[in-house]
């Protein structure tokens, strides 16, 4: 599966351009219509950005409640998706859009596609390429295994499996006060809107960092791990390891708490790096990240000590090539040369910027991620647990679909993941859910935050494998 080799590094979960050009519902005329619309809307990059927003998935249809959008309900979406798989694409289109029972615009929402503003007021056939994309994506998704539906099924899978892949995200750390990224009001991206960036994710864009590292450093204190404490969910993963059931923990988190919880290095893949170390972007000098904590906490750009020592040893006035740090302020000239008769330009000799070894958008994921997944885990895994992530960032978001389709998969998080069909969905606080699973399995989950609370579990209406977990109030 080529997404893991030569893919666009750390990227949005869905690649847009190729799909839109290759898959639409009907014929070339429909694609031409879409192409003419592209041209009318300006630059390709701007249009691609609009498509990425639209295709970012629909993590929860309640996200659209305040928008004037005619949306399929969760139940309607489920029925449409089930019908598509039952009768196939051609018959599905005949029964829906061609029969006039629903517009293509509204049907897009059943497949997690938000109708884009630039198509508002356009004829319905303008939405055909988008609907085709949604259908293609739906039919390419992993199919839920029908034999796994109940909480008892999940418990039995935990007890019987011995090669478990655990894929984790920010949701396993939120109980420690560490914000996730995408929650509407409390997520980190929501808190960064005051920076005035076109997209809060630019804080973690490597090109932006090279141009102006002060943007990242101004918010670093908000994402810097402030504790070595780990959550009950971290303890649960460690328990799987202690029971010799953990194959690999792929974590998207950068807080390094898995290591503090005791997950062995040979069992842990930090897909997006961590704050454990930092590296100079100029000379490659690496240090423990604790050495630059003072700068990170102060919002001050940290400079490389080795570069500083080297510069102090250089003869004064040696001409340097222009700094590759990408700092916009680095083009100032030394004041001591202001009255020089030399026509040569001299840049200020500056030490390199220290960059925490977290993976920014635009950087490659570590090779260990690809190698472990494709050459090791794929052939061994017997259960997949996805915990505390909305699966929005590729290529990590593609792991679920890459692993063998006959391997059972369980999803644990606050909100459902609409673009992946897991076998069992368990919604609520991750700590609460894993605590209840351990109780039902007869396992002792040792952690100071685990309380002897009554946990209410109920099945979602219209589903046979989606559950909510909630602590009963006293």
Contact 126, 34 (CB under 8 A): yes
How far apart are the C-alpha atoms of 469 and 458, rounded to whole Å? 7
Nearest one of 398, 414, 288 to 354, comparing CA atoms:
288
Q: What residue ranges in 222-351 does DSSP mark as E strands?
A: 246-251, 268-270, 273-280, 286-288
SS3 260: helix
Buried b / exposed e across 157-171, counting CB within 10 Å, b at 16+? bbeebebbbbbbbbb
Positive or negative torsion for Cα 243, 247, 252, 258: positive
Is residue 272 part of the annotated active site? The answer reads yes
How far apart are the C-alpha atoms of 183 and 181, rounded to whole Å? 6
350's CB contacts (< 8 A; 6+ apart) are 303, 307, 311, 323, 325, 327, 330
How far apart are the C-alpha atoms of 236 and 310, rounded to whole Å? 47
Q: What's phi and psi for 458, nearest 5 deg?
A: -135, 150
How far apart are the C-alpha atoms of 264 and 258, rounded to whole Å? 9
Contact 433, 450 (CB under 8 A): no
How far apart are the C-alpha atoms of 77 and 111, rounded to whole Å? 7
Longest dimension (CA), the chain: 83
What are the angstrom distances between the C-alpha of 415 and each of 59, 89, 181, 355? Answer: 7, 29, 14, 33
How far apart are the C-alpha atoms of 113 and 128, rounded to whole Å? 12
Q: Are strands 11-12 and 393-394 parallel, antiparallel or unpaired?
A: antiparallel
Could you say which of 47, 272, 419, 447 is catalytic?
272
Contact 188, 223 (CB under 8 A): yes
Q: Are strands 268-270 and 409-413 parallel, antiparallel or unpaired?
A: unpaired
How far apart are the C-alpha atoms of 14 and 17, rounded to whole Å? 10
Q: Which tokens belong to 392?
A: 């929005």
Place of tokens 């780990």: 230
Q: Which residues pair with 427 in a beta bridge?
A: 413, 468
Active site residues: 272
């Amino acid at each position: 599966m080529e997404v893991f080799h030569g893919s666009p590094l750390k990227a949005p979960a869905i690649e847009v351009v190729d799909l839109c050009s290759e898959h639409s519902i009907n014929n070339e005329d429909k694609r031409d219509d879409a192409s003419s619309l592209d041209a009318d809307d300006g630059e390709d990059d701007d249009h691609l950005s609009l498509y990425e927003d639209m295709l970012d998935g629909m993590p929860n249809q309640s996200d659209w409640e305040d928008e004037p959008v005619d949306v399929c309900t969760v139940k309607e979406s489920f029925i449409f998706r089930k019908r598509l798989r039952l009768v196939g694409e051609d018959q599905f289109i005949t029964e829906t859009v061609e029969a006039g029972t629903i517009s293509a615009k509204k049907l897009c929402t059943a497949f997690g596609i938000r109708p884009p503003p630039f198509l508002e007021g356009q004829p319905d056939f303008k939405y055909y390429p988008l609907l085709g994309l949604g259908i293609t994506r739906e039919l390419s998704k992993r199919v839920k295994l029908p034999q796994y539906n109940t909480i008892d099924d999940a418990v039995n899978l935990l007890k019987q499996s011995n090669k478990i892949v655990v894929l984790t995200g920010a949701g396993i750390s939120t109980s420690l006060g560490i914000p996730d990224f995408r929650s509407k009001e409390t997520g980190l991206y929501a808190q960064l809107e005051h920076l005035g960036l076109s997209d809060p994710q630019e804080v973690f864009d490597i090109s932006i960092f090279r141009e102006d590292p002060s943007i990242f450093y101004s918010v670093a204190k908000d994402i810097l791990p402030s504790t070595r404490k780990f959550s009950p969910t971290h303890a649960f993963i460690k328990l799987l390891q202690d029971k010799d059931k953990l194959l690999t923990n792929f974590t998207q988190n950068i807080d390094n708490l898995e290591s503090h919880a005791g997950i062995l290095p040979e069992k842990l893949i930090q897909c997006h790096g961590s704050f454990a170390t930092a590296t100079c972007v100029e000379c490659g000098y690496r240090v423990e990240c604790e050495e630059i904590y003072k700068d990170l906490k102060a919002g001050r750009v940290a400079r490389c000590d080795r570069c500083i020592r080297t510069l102090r040893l250089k003869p004064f006035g040696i001409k340097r090539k222009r700094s590759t740090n990408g700092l916009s302020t680095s083009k100032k000239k030394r004041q001591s040369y202001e009255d020089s008769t030399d026509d040569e330009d001299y840049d200020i000799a500056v030490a390199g910027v220290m960059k925490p070894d977290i993976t920014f958008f635009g950087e490659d994921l570590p090779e260990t991620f690809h190698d472990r997944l494709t050459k090791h885990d794929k052939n061994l895994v017997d259960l997949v647990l996805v915990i505390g992530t909305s699966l929005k960032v590729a290529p990590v978001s593609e792991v679920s679909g890459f692993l063998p389709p006959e391997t059972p998969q369980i999803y644990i998080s606050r909100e459902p993941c609409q673009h992946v069909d897991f076998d069992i969905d368990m919604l609520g606080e991750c700590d609460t859910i894993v605590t209840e699973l351990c109780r039902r399995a007869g396992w002792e989950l040792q952690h100071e935050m685990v309380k002897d609370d009554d946990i209410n579990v109920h099945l979602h209406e219209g589903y046979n494998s989606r559950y909510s977990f909630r602590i009963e109030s006293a």
